[in-house]
Structure 1
């Protein structure tokens, strides 16, 4: 193990780096420096703890699962192991979709026939691709992972507009839709898959009438959860399933949590709040996150979806993922008054900045979107192209692990479920830092230098210290074992 000298006042550390210069979660052999100014110190205060980590991971989508089925067994296994083995990213928190979503091959429902008893409920649409991918991940993961499910929409026959896109759930079908969730738990259990929980509705504000969606106001969702979903799951023996409310962008958090957590009755069946990052992939919205935590300090606050959207991903071009020209939807489409939320900003920077910012503001889980996409950024029935950490070329049976994969692994591999986020005093304004103490006693410190110049800093813990350096455009995870 490369480490500082085992002197009484030296920290024993291992350092792993991903960088624009070419490192990909590479273990560094030379990371020490000398004579660092005290004004550039990072001091860890493990006696002061914040939230407990639930996990990090990505989403099982039909698109990702379908692509895996187009690859050779060797490459399929390589990807699954890269995500779920201890040697890989060791994902611990994952998501999937109930019924179809934009990253499905077509639009479908588990209950296509109008029937309040849902007698024809079947997950047969998931049997070819989605369920096999989840089961292979389960077989590969030694530590296990949590899986939650999200609906994009109820079947059109339950909605006021009778369409896949937009509209609201008809009040007469509130009990029907709650039954749907319960039947989903049973159907997946029959396939050997335990569902940890749900978000009530993906993006209840809608998505500009583009792909599958269903609208809820905070009051409507809380009514559904309080009087239908929560009681139904409880009655059917699924009361242990986690229910996360909201599930859209952080800018709307205050309005939602004020309703969700208005009192003991409204809060009873909500186990936490789900958020997305698309309002801005640059601004973390710390005030909104802090407010959401203050309203429900003992409940989950989980980032359930984020991706580099509105982009056809670059193929085997690591530099693109470090380039600010690979920007997000808002650069082209946001209104002028919201342009400031969408500066040109590199994909790696977005992920690293957001995860660090979330961890420093009470978020306990962070889930990426598609795990695998093709060179077009699909397949996607709506042609809503996006990037993913792993890109594949099924025609030529090739796999490309982008820098986003390694960025995710800096957190998922080294900050484990049950870790406590700890206090950090950071005097270097050029560095973004977060830290957590794992259940095994190790401390993981993640340091991000998005700047064009290398940085030096002292890392301090109790009475021990070491002087370190991080190159320009680099992300480091530092593991402290003593």
Structure 2
């Protein structure tokens, strides 16, 4: 890829007047990070064309998110962007589309929160909407999607995955900065992330993976305020507040 980007793709875009086009390299799973990015950044020809590194979420459950930390440590000026995710893609998942699956939504939000906590600047779903079979797809690679369209009835179904993504997209403005955040008590069943928006407000997204309610304490050290919050079982919660109010 270093040879292709440095010797062909990058120069071709420049010669065609598209030199401002951003090239995100890798576009595969994080198993090969940071070595893959190092190969491109240590190549004199390709280094100048690398705008960021694109990562797919597949096998994130096997590869620790610490590889994202190490990638950022070595190349802090290279953004890490998650560019592909879907569910129902594995051979052991015979049902490609599962209408109303809360579990798949939880998988989504858990990964989004985890990757944002480890230097990812964004997270993109592979398909905004698909049909009830999980297509169409020329390779018959059928998967699930946040919105399923029933062409026969003219209906569209918003899946739980749609609402999971809404929790990290509706209130997070472009340019928001991640801040240190944890919901006490800290347990493996709770995953959370928080951001300071350009307008000066704070947004926190909390996932309760436990099948029972959990009470957590939220403390804002900037204002010495705290509040107790009961998270419903298997729930997604977004908090939005102004530190000054």
- Evaluate the alpha carbon distance shift between residue 470 and residue 284 of structure 1 in structure 2; reply closer, same or farther with a 3 A threshold: farther
How far apart are the structure 2 equivalents of 1:454 and 1:416? 29
Corresponding position of 1:418 = 175
1:445 aligns to what SS in structure 2? Answer: strand
**Is structure 2 residue 123 aligned with structure 1 residue 385?**
no
TM-score between both structures, scaled by the size of structure 1? 0.47
The structure number with the bigger radius of gyration is 1
**Is structure 2 residue 56 aligned with structure 1 residue 276?**
yes
1:312 Cα offset (Å) = 2.3
**Is structure 2 residue 172 aligned with structure 1 residue 401?**
no
**Is structure 2 residue 62 aligned with structure 1 residue 305?**
no
How far apart are the structure 2 equivalents of 1:248 and 1:285? 15
Asked if structure 1 preserves the Cα contact closer than 8 Å seen for 2:204 and 2:238, the reply is yes
1:434 aligns to what SS in structure 2? Answer: strand
Unmatched tracts of structure 2, length 5 or more: 90-94
TM-score between both structures, scaled by the size of structure 2? 0.90
Match of 1:358 among 101, 112, 115: 115
1:381 Cα offset (Å) = 2.2
How far apart are the structure 1 equivalents of 2:19 and 2:159? 39
Unmatched tracts of structure 1, length 5 or more: 1-220, 323-345
**Is structure 2 residue 237 aligned with structure 1 residue 476?**
yes
Asked if structure 1 preserves the Cα contact closer than 8 Å seen for 2:7 and 2:46, the reply is no
1:449 Cα offset (Å) = 0.3
How far apart are the structure 2 equivalents of 1:295 and 1:261? 10
**Is structure 2 residue 33 aligned with structure 1 residue 253?**
yes
- Evaluate the alpha carbon distance shift between residue 234 and residue 437 of structure 1 in structure 2; reply closer, same or farther with a 3 A threshold: same
How far apart are the structure 2 equivalents of 1:253 and 1:379? 32
- The structure with the greater share of residues assigned to strand is 2
1:438 Cα offset (Å) = 1.2
2:81 aligns to what SS in structure 1? Answer: strand
How many residue pairs match? The answer is 234
Asked if structure 1 preserves the Cα contact closer than 8 Å seen for 2:24 and 2:50, the reply is yes
Asked if structure 2 preserves the Cα contact closer than 8 Å seen for 1:308 and 1:387, the reply is yes
Which structure is higher in RCO with an 8 Å CA cutoff and minimum separation 6?
A: 1
How far apart are the structure 2 equivalents of 1:225 and 1:403? 38
Corresponding position of 2:211 = 452
Corresponding position of 1:287 = 66
1:421 Cα offset (Å) = 1.0
Asked if structure 1 preserves the Cα contact closer than 8 Å seen for 2:31 and 2:63, the reply is no
- The structure with the greater share of residues assigned to helix is 1
Moved segments of 4+, more than 6 Å: none
Asked if structure 2 preserves the Cα contact closer than 8 Å seen for 1:435 and 1:444, the reply is yes
- Evaluate the alpha carbon distance shift between residue 309 and residue 403 of structure 1 in structure 2; reply closer, same or farther with a 3 A threshold: same
1:346-376 CA deviation, whole Å, 9 max, x = no partner?
2122101100000010000100011111111
